[in-house]
Structure 1
């Protein structure tokens, strides 16, 4: 049965809270995207108000207001025990919101809950966590969140609407630059109507579809704590505000270990969306200098759950005693999420990369075929799209609605967008250096004004060499990157592979002090205002846009995406953007996996019906205490 919000009519001229409490007239069931109401609800002086336990940007919610738990959890999962994972590098802060200073610890936002949350078996749905219901008019010019009255911070103090408002103000004033801009452009007024009711009024110029989801994602941090400590949102620090979440910060050993512990007085354990989730007493994160050290520690039982990212490890290294003894389980689990748009990212702020032909030439000597077959055991697929999904990636020549969108942008686009098929990664041969691609790359460099000197180096008309530094911090990538470095040298690039320590890498990445890095962009099955934060000109210097990419056409598409009235329109806009960005070639595409490689000590269990869009090992898996005790008795764990 469809799960639809209720529509009611209120007298707009009366006080809002009095109206909401006393003046509603019973309406009819409605959809979120399509509203039907009788004429009596649209009479002069009245407006239709929608009330719901959740929100979906395009359609109906999967879960109704009285759902007992999410379909993919085990509501009877035992609670207790520990999951321990690893991370490489270091950290010196527990403030994840200071993106321009310090290196935050992994999962350091786990303490903070949002007003609404998403699920792992839907796209675009948001459900109340800190609220009971939301209210908004059909034009979504404002939203009211009716907050729960039983929410408390981990220090025992109650959460109120004033904490939500104060946190919002902190993000407006001290958040990451792109977030500050986004919030100030989106919200024109905000207020606590009472201790458990908060209202946000939106700019009429703000994209309609982005309004409620963005503010539903608002966090709750303690106003009293900030006032007492004088702390700032944008500073690196180890002590942070208490949160309302299920976990609190336990032990912190900077650069070495973080332990998050269950709040024994957590307020929300019985809230339906939380049932069957958060099943560990502690979550421990062990830091290691490199992935090799981390893998050795896993084999020795120093931590218990590992998501494998190394193809050589997955193919050749899972033959240690804990595997032979049956203590460790090794599995491939399906992954329905979009892979990251990863690759070698050009810093487009560098003049040397301004010519697309230079970027193409540098990309042409990367050999995916040889790399995958000889270094990655043929386990990967080559990434083609920024949205590696049949519904969202551009294919062939543009047609239909995608073509109409591109035609409206023709003045800002090269003719090849219309006459050539969507750019695909180049094909390569079975040798480390494909000679045909090298010849093509040299020809492109010559067209761009670079010629090969007697010493084999490319030089421009002024005699300058093409100096490129590839910046990296992870030793495990040396074996993958070094053949590419050698190919770049054969091309004539004066290339340097510089592997630095994690703190230096973080600082240089924040300052965009690099030529080329291995990184990329996150992508979603549904896009909104975050699209412009990642790809927009206004935020090109933001940490979320590692290439400093900027395109007038993409800026226009970024304005249209949040206004899309249905998923089909959004998908057409994304396909148009994908076509343009692949043509602009600011990331050399590499590989993706499309599944989860996991290895874990055999005392963890998970639901049979894992959702399409989540692995959930830190969320809805659990510990089998009897199996754990057996492994301890066998000496499997340290």
Structure 2
């Protein structure tokens, strides 16, 4: 498996709650008109007011050292291969991963809870009786890196700016924000239009707070001037497209807050950028990179035998993946008319021989994905129960009939690489859709060939899917693969200028309505820069996305997500590929960390620390 491409890994908002003994209403455990130190959608907060630190950190972790790593996840417009802007919050350009470390937010997530946020810049939050507005009391000690105070005016300005000029990651969730008002320097009110999902607040209280003065003076645009931040780190040395260093802010105003204690331990975090994954891997072997997560099964199986690993200076191990739904899948772009027929999309899916690829490419290290929400409770199984049917029945006639039967499963081949039965079925589906074989390729009644180009910026992806291309050509599809450079790839993704792309996503533990809108809703289909790569624009799907937002408890969320999964799988907009249940990592043995890792995120650059004694033993002191 190749790593996810560009903006394809999400860590949006907070979300899911424990299965048992949950209240029946969102924020039911959070009273209105009472200042609260945190918010939890579906259950009580784990940490009481005045807690000292999160359980998954070492509060005595030493500060110091440098952490040079290859990021394995990224947000917004960030790119792990190159960068040409230091603004992560707009659509234009490619910014470096971890830029968000430079900015504080109203509240911060607890990584051992699926749906909880605790005060950071905001000391407390008060929910209005109608639950349409939230009042935050900001800490008067909050400061930007230049020493200027961070006020409610900055926060209100930031929310309005991100709504109007921010990337879709911000604009879509903020669409229901009616106003952001600074009642005084330390009091912020976020007011919604009444049509929002009740859990929407959890998606936006982690958004960055920007300096109004800085933006009004210097603008909110791309370029290599960093925006003024207030977070634990600030931008240090920069070599555009090659290297960025983040320097720990020694006098960081929130260093000793409970939500930060034991975190942000490295004096310097460095990211070097490589266009070629082999060069990236060689940097680990040489000790130029200290931490790497492997994303190619062949490399994990065969390449980790270099001297420093054999000597015990480099550690190779697996960590369990997060308890969050994930998807790696092929998106077929409906904006191309030739992919609008579900039979064409289904035929294309039949050309992917996972069983052959698993044996020949993947070293039996991957499992076939069936769901768009794999490894979660949201994966549909078997036939829909009564509660799912209550959502699906009103849509009968507007959704595929297959959604009312057994959940659609991906075909199982004979593992030959060219399963004649599967390819024969694909040929019949194409013929039924009006594509007739004429010579080497199929044509429609206008004499047009069925063409398809798989777009990628990673050679390894193109190699892994070359048998898929060959099988499509075998059934008469004029299929090709194109590798483009990273900036062109990002531009074409943002403008939906492609036929087919392969993408991977990590969803939040309890997906919110705005998150699902980014992928599957009509509102995102025509908006540049969303993750709705398939171009889904269907009122029936919109209804199910709305049902996700209307969920009042954990069980109703599961039901709505399963119904959505069931319909999407029957539509064949996205063709699920495969998944891995663990992180494959290698690192130089000079770090300390607390185990077990938290269940819902794995920010090693924030949680780990430099261990001088370990470093001395391996010659890295």
TM-score normalised per structure 1 = 0.89
Structure showing greater radius of gyration is 1
Bigger mean CA deviation after superposition, 571-580 or 479-488: 479-488
SS of 1:575's partner is helix
Alignment of 1:156 with 2:141, yes or no, is no
Residues 375 and 612 of structure 1, relative CA distance in 2, 3 Å threshold? same
- Identify which of 610, 617, 620 aligns with 1:630: 617
* Matching of residues 33-112 of structure 1 within 5 Å: 33-34=27-28, 49-86=33-70, 89-99=81-91, 101-112=92-103
| 1:277 to 2:277 alignment | no
The answer to whether 1:221 aligns with 2:210 is yes
Q: Distance in 2 between matches of 1:630 and 1:203?
A: 59
Q: Which residue is equivalent to 1:445?
A: 430
Alignment of structure 1 residues 112-261 onto 2, 5 Å? 112-177=103-168, 179-180=170-171, 182-184=173-175, 186-210=176-200, 212-229=201-218, 231-232=219-220, 235-261=221-247
After superposition, the C-alpha distances for 1:245-302 in whole angstroms (9 at most, x for unaligned) are 1010111111111111101111111101111111111111111121011111111111
Secondary structure of the 1:412 match is coil
Does the Cα contact within 8 Å between 2:29 and 2:44 map onto a contact in 1? no
Conserved in 1, the CA contact under 8 Å of 2:347 and 2:425? Answer: yes
What is the distance in 1 between the residues matched to 2:240 and 2:229?
Answer: 21
Task: Give the drift of 1:521.
Answer: 4.2
**Alpha-carbon distance between aligned partners in 1 of 2:50 and 2:25, rounded to the nearest angstrom:** 17
Higher relative contact order (CA 8 A, sep 6+): 2
Q: 2:487, 2:511 → 1: CA distance?
A: 32
Partner of 2:254: 268
Residues 521 and 545 in structure 1, CA contact (< 8 A), matched pair in contact too: no
Q: Quote the Cα distance in structure 1 between the aligned partners of 2:462 and 2:446.
A: 33
Query: What is the total number of aligned residue pairs between the two structures?
Result: 587
Question: 1:405-456, CA deviations, whole angstroms, 9 ceiling, x for partnerless residues?
Answer: 11132242233322x21111110122111111111100111111112222x2
Cα deviation, 1:215-251, whole Å, max 9, x if unaligned, reads 423421111111221x12xx32211321111010111
Question: Is residue 306 of structure 1 aligned with residue 298 of structure 2?
Answer: no
Measure the CA separation in 2 of the matches of 1:343 and 1:105: 25
Q: Tell me what 1:466 maps to.
A: 450
Query: Which residue is 1:44 aligned to?
Result: none
Q: CA deviation at 1:622?
A: 1.1
Counterpart secondary structure, 2:100: coil
What is the deviation of 1:32? 7.1
Q: Distance in 1 between matches of 2:153 and 2:363?
A: 55
Identify which of 353, 358, 367 aligns with 1:367.
353
Is the CA contact (8 Å cut-off) linking 2:162 and 2:170 kept in structure 1? yes
TM-score, normalising length from structure 2? 0.91
Show the counterpart of 1:382.
Answer: 368
Q: Does 1:619 align with 2:606?
A: yes
Note if 1:518 corresponds to 2:502: yes
* Structure-2 separation of matches of 1:344 and 1:414: 20
SS in 1 for 2:237: strand
User: Following TM superposition, by how much is the alpha carbon of 1:182 offset from its aligned partner in structure 2, in angstroms?
Assistant: 4.2
* Structure 2 equivalent of residue 424 of structure 1: 409
Whether 1:481 and 2:465 are equivalent positions in the alignment is yes
**Structure 2 residue 548 is the aligned partner of structure 1 residue 554:** no
Structure 1 residue runs of 5 or longer lacking an equivalent are: 1-29, 38-47
> Counterparts of 2:169 and 2:133 in 1: how far apart (Å)?
22
Distance 1:115 1:34 in 2: 21
On the 8 A contact 2:82/2:486 being kept in 1, the answer is yes
User: How many angstroms apart in 2 are the aligned matches of 1:94 and 1:360?
Assistant: 41
Q: Distance in 1 between matches of 2:207 and 2:508?
A: 19
* Secondary structure class of the residue paired with 2:428: helix
**In the aligned structure 2, how far is the partner of 1:228 from the partner of 1:622?**
37
Structure 1 distance, partners of 2:30, 2:613, is 55
CA RMSD of aligned residues (A): 1.9
For structure 1, which segment, 334-343 or 486-495, has the greater mean C-alpha deviation from structure 2 after superposition?
334-343
Secondary structure of 1:86 counterpart: coil
Residue ranges of structure 2 left out of the alignment (5+ in a row): 1-23, 72-79
Measure how far apart 1:165 and its partner are. 1.1
Alpha-carbon deviation of 1:178? Answer: 6.8
Shift in Å, 1:139? 2.6
CA distance, structure 1, for counterparts of residue 602 and residue 135 of structure 2: 33
In the alignment, the residues of structure 2 paired with residue 49 and residue 122 of structure 1 have an alpha-carbon distance, to the nearest angstrom, of 24
